[in-house]
């Protein structure tokens, strides 16, 4: 017998229905042809994983901020290097007057 596979979207929809508490879990299970124990597992998994979602968002924001700051630092370093080179070229070419 082949096991049924459910999409993450379907599981999410079912868990949201469970969390609304408008119907008993046994009714949701029978309406969708899924054993009530499976619904309990999905709900538990969702509730355990939910905090990680917010943590991931914070990690992504921190990484973007760090990447931005690193790029900005590199650009300032490049501007400083080019300014120094330009001054040296002007001085050597006689264009630069003190």
Whether the predicted pLDDT of 72 surpasses 80: yes
**pLDDT band at 46, cuts 50/70/90?**
very high
| Three-state SS at 22 | coil
* Cβ atoms 10, 41 nearer than 8 A: no
Per-residue pLDDT, 60: 83
**pLDDT band at 77, cuts 50/70/90?**
very high
């Amino acid at each position: 017998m082949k096991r049924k596979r459910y999409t993450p979207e379907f599981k999410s929809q079912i868990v949201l229905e469970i969390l609304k508490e408008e119907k008993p879990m046994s009714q949701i299970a029978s309406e969708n042809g899924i054993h009530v124990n499976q619904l309990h597992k999905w709900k538990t998994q969702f509730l355990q994983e939910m905090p990680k979602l917010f943590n991931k968002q914070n990690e992504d924001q921190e990484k973007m901020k760090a990447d931005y700051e690193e790029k900005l630092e590199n650009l300032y370093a490049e501007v400083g290097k080019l300014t120094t080179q330009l001054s040296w070229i002007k001085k050597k070419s006689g264009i630069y007057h003190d």
